[in-house]
Structure 1
Amino acid sequence: MTASPPPAQPRNPLHGVTLEAMVVALAAHYGWAGLAQRLPVRCFQSDPSVASSLKFLRKTPWARAKLESLYLFMLRELKRAPQRP
């Protein structure tokens, strides 16, 4: 018996995006201070780094959910922003 491949998720914007990619993109877009303001957790406020953030987010489901929500919000913001020539 062979395992069937997972179903495609063409409408899921988080499909295939790693947690690390989300943290890096958010930190690049908002900066660590802006990220700490939008998501007030210690891993973004005190000596922030990608590694410490990933360690915390992997252990804390509520924080990961908030980070994913902020990432989706950022994607919508970028999509709505007028394109510059």
Structure 2
Amino acid sequence: MNHQPNNPLHGITLQRLLEELVDHYSWEELGRIVNVRCFNNEPSIKSSLKFLRRTEWARKEVEQLYLDTFFI
């Protein structure tokens, strides 16, 4: 396994990251923090993962929110 000691997201899947954020904030609050349609209009893990995997800027915002929420 490739170890990345300076990457706090190493080993955390995008699905796990998103599920933990939804559990912590709720879809409604998450949609206010990161204003993307997949969080505000009939949100689901599946549709959000599809969007985040194709949209780098949104994925980076969600990853940063995760770090700010759970690591700082």
TM-score, normalisation: structure 1:
0.79
Q: Percent identity?
A: 49
d(CA) in 2 for partners of 1:37, 1:10: 32
d(CA) in 1 for partners of 2:53, 2:59: 7
d(CA) in 2 for partners of 1:56, 1:9: 26
Number of corresponding residues: 72
Shift of residue 11, structure 1, vs aligned partner: 3.4
Gaps of 5+ in 1: 78-85
Q: Which runs of 4+ in 1 moved over 3 A?
A: none
Match of 2:23 among 20, 25, 28: 28
d(CA) in 1 for partners of 2:16, 2:33: 18
Q: Deviations over 1:4-59 (max 9, x none)?
A: x63x2123210000000011000000000010010000000000000000000011
For 2:53, the equivalent position in structure 1 comes to 58
Larger of the two Rg values belongs to structure = 1
User: In terms of mean alpha carbon deviation, does 10-19 or 27-36 score higher?
Assistant: 10-19
**SS of structure 2 residue aligned to 1:15:** coil
Match of 1:12 among 7, 18, 23: 7
Task: Kindly provide the amino acid, as one letter, of the partner of residue 62 in structure 2.
Answer: L
